[in-house]
Amino acid sequence: MKIIVRWILLAAALLLVAHLYPGVQVASFTSALIAALVLGLLNTLVRPLLVLLTLPVTLITLGLFLFVINALMFWAAASVLQGFNVTGFTAALIGSLLYSLCAMVIDVATERLFSRGT
């Protein structure tokens, strides 16, 4: 149940990002659900490999290159999906930052909500 609630909230967060920043467009809530799923899969499967491969650059930039990796994941999801659009790399960077902030709030909220039931 926790995963489904988190997924729906992340889709809503993606709609919020699209509302707040004009460089990101989401056509519908269904598109947002699919985009949230694809973003989750990319961040679970591809992102760790990219972080490992770019470790020297990440260390030299004191971790700031991780923002670039997040933006690339956001941009990649938008490039393979219909109904989810990002206008460029800058839009992907700003969109991924806003989405990450929303995701952190959602993670804290779901942890508190579901830890009360146990």
pLDDT tens digits in sequence order for the chain, 118 residues long? 899 999 999 999 999 999 999 999 999 999 999 999 999 999 999 999 999 999 999 999 999 999 999 999 999 999 999 999 999 999 999 999 999 999 999 999 999 988 875 5
Q: What is the pLDDT of residue 48?
A: 95
Q: What is the pLDDT of residue 15?
A: 97
Helices (H), the chain: 2-20, 29-45, 47-53, 55-60, 65-80, 89-115
Q: Where are the domains of the chain?
A: 2-115
Spatial neighbors of 93 by CB under 8 A, at least 6 apart, are 67, 68, 70, 71, 74
Q: What is the pLDDT of residue 71?
A: 96
Q: What is the pLDDT of residue 75?
A: 96
User: pTM value?
Assistant: 0.91
Q: What is the pLDDT of residue 13?
A: 97
